[in-house]
């Protein structure tokens, strides 16, 4: 064999070893396939969905990761004309209805994100289904679709979080924004390990789950505007009263106990500060909240009222 022949062989060997190395690299990354063989009319939709799913699957896995996590799976999304329902995940397989995509091409992308969360979750069966669906919709709506907190549905009833899906998602989103940052990842880890207990909410916030739900409703309920001249805020055991010096005094059982200076005012609330204790409170119709760096928690429920000596303010 001549010199050029050897060179060609060496070049071929080098190329095959490079192909081998590349194959090894791609074998480590999960693949994302969308099967349109039974629904060829949706190939355009699938071609535009594939890069979104391929990008979001590892991102969701990172957002939900815990130290015990296994490598990502190769995911197959089957566009299925025989599928009853909208979409479902089982292991690394997602089925999504051909008819649903045809009728809701944009919403279907969010539905795929929801199912990809289920692929990552892989919870053992039998644990708090409202959280399984709530976490999936939290990532779909709050993270993927960037829906603002106020646009999540909030049914005015006790334990409304049990409504699951988008309702539970909004509740989790609210917990993340202040009362319990990081709780979604923590819940996900507990659920995956089969160790979830409702007490986790209490450990994180000092409040029971059912009370957190009513805190959420209260926090998001639009507040009535302040009276024209807010002077007294009353609750069952005491009051906050405006003093001639421009400060606020907290009374308990008719006796002055703490003094506050006013630090901020919005059309709905007044914030007052007790510098000596570093206690900052928000006075608003229906509640007084303790204001902290991570949000507000309700201390009292009550109302603005007028002193007997003053006229009812025109509101």
Task: Indicate the residue among 133 and 250 with the shorter CB distance to Zn ion.
Answer: 133
* Helix residue ranges per DSSP H, 30-138: 43-63, 98-103, 107-121, 129-137
Applying CB under 5 A, what is the total number of residues that bind Zn ion? 2
Q: State the nearest-atom distance from the C-beta of 166 to Zn ion, in Å.
A: 11
Residue 195 — φ and ψ, nearest 5°?
Answer: -115, 10
Binding to Zn ion (CB under 5 A) within 97-136 occurs at 133, 136
Q: State the nearest-atom distance from the C-beta of 132 to Zn ion, in Å.
A: 7
DSSP 239-307: EEEE-TTSEEEEEETTEEEEEEEEEEE-SSEEEEEETTTTEEEEEETTEEEEEETTEEEEEE-EEEE--
Q: State the nearest-atom distance from the C-beta of 131 to Zn ion, in Å.
A: 11
Q: State the nearest-atom distance from the C-beta of 137 to Zn ion, in Å.
A: 8
Binding to Zn ion (CB under 5 A) within 129-188 occurs at 133, 136
Q: State the nearest-atom distance from the C-beta of 168 to Zn ion, in Å.
A: 11
* Cα distance between residue 23 and residue 35, in whole Å: 22
Task: Indicate the residue among 46 and 136 with the shorter CB distance to Zn ion.
Answer: 136
Place of tokens 């355009």: 44
Task: Indicate the residue among 136 and 287 with the shorter CB distance to Zn ion.
Answer: 136
Task: Indicate the residue among 192 and 280 with the shorter CB distance to Zn ion.
Answer: 192
* Cα distance between residue 248 and residue 231, in whole Å: 9
Task: Indicate the residue among 129 and 256 with the shorter CB distance to Zn ion.
Answer: 129
Q: Using CB under 5 A, list all residues that contact Zn ion.
A: 133, 136
């Amino acid at each position: 064999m001549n010199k050029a022949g050897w060179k060609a062989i060496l070049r071929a060997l080098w190329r095959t070893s490079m192909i081998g190395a590349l194959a090894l690299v791609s074998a480590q990354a999960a693949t994302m396939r969308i099967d349109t063989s039974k629904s060829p009319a949706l190939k355009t939709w699938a071609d535009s969905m594939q890069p979104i799913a391929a990008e979001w699957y590892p991102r969701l896995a990172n957002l939900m990761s815990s130290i015990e996590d296994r490598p990502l799976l190769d995911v197959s999304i089957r566009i299925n004309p025989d599928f009853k329902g909208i979409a479902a995940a089982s292991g690394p397989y997602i089925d999504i209805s051909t008819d649903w995509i045809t009728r809701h091409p944009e919403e279907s992308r969010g539905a795929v994100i929801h199912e990809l969360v289920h692929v990552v979750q892989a919870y053992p069966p039998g644990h708090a289904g409202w959280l399984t669906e709530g976490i999936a919709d939290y990532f779909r709506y709050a993270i993927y679709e960037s829906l603002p907190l106020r646009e999540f549905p909030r049914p005015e009833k006790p334990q409304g979080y049990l409504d699951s899906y988008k309702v539970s998602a909004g509740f989790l989103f609210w917990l993340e924004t202040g009362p319990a940052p990081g709780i979604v990842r923590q819940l996900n880890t507990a659920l995956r390990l089969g160790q979830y207990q409702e007490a986790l909410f209490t450990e994180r916030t000092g409040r029971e789950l059912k009370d957190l739900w009513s805190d959420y409703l209260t926090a998001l309920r639009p507040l009535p505007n302040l009276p024209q001249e807010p002077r007294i805020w009353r609750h069952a055991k005491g009051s906050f009263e405006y003093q001639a010096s421009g400060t606020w005094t907290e009374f308990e059982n008719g006796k002055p106990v703490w003094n506050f200076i006013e630090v901020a005012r919005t059309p709905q609330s007044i914030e007052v500060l007790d510098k000596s204790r570093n206690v900052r409170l928000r006075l608003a119709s229906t509640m007084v909240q303790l204001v902290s760096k991570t949000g507000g928690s309700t201390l009292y429920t009550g109302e603005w009222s007028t002193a007997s000596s003053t006229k009812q303010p025109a509101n």
